[in-house]
Amino acid sequence: MLTVDFQRFRVTPGDRILDMGCGAGRHAFELYRRGAHVVAFDLDADELAGVEKMFGAMRLAGEVPADATAETVQGDALALPFPDDHFDKIIASEVLEHIPDDMRAMRELLRVLKPGGKLAVTVPSWLPERVCWALSEDYHTAPGGHVRIYTRAELEAKFKSIGFRVGGHHHAHGLHAPYWWIKCAVGVNDDRNPLAKAYHQILVWDIMKRPLATRLAERALNPVIGKSVVVYFAKPSTPSTPAPPARETADAV
């Protein structure tokens, strides 16, 4: 299930792309299929082990172009182990809401992205996330869980303040918000609840079959209750120059 729209976030074969906070690797796998040189980066060694196995399986199955490469790197988002201006593009999907010092992580993304490079950031949308927090304390107090709820305006303002340019946005996964509301209402760790199980089966069916009816329903729901908001940014090709100080006039004494 992809959150980033690859019609907006174009990937060219040979692009060097970082999937920062890759988790189980859903975006990293798509980048690999599209011929990129992918670095799947995460703090969780167990998640990365699974991603590495899938990279190997994709290579063996011939699912990726011959020139594409993929590797996993473990580390901290607050100190990315990469040189300045290293990546053509970066994806940071559903990760910043977990990081207390999010501005430091954002500055690291700016540092390792090439001038002119593109960044796609996804975080939980404000309204669906507020409902989840209201329904379940466990949802947002578990270790490693969400530490903040972003508005899109706040997310964009933070990235703009360090030098990024905003390049548009959209919402995604409108059908998934009710599932998480159900989970929060019945117990976020209760996978046996009949209602939660039934809705999960519908979501799996939708992901596998992608019928027209649910595609149209999700398109209508996304702007209202889309579980994620996706914002696209660009690093300027040249550093912005601060405006010169205003000249003093005869009256400014």
**What is the pLDDT at residue 240?**
55
The mean per-residue pLDDT over the stretch 162-185 comes to 97
pTM of the model: 0.91
Complete DSSP assignment for 12-35? -TT-EEEEET-TT-HHHHHHHHTT
How many C-beta neighbours within 10 Å does residue 176 have? 21
Superfamily of domain 76-234, CATH level 4? Vaccinia Virus protein VP39 (3.40.50.150)
Q: Which residues contact 44 (CB under 8 A, 6 or more apart)?
A: 23, 74
Per-residue pLDDT tens digits for 154-173: 999 999 999 999 999 999 99
The mean per-residue pLDDT over the stretch 45-60 comes to 98
Q: How confident is the model at residue 251 (pLDDT cuts 50, 70, 90)?
A: very low
Per-residue pLDDT tens digits for 106-131: 999 999 999 999 999 999 999 999 99
Q: Average per-residue pLDDT in the chain?
A: 93
Domain-wise residue ranges, the chain: 76-234
Beta strands (DSSP E) in the chain are 16-20, 37-42, 69-74, 87-93, 113-124, 165-172, 228-234
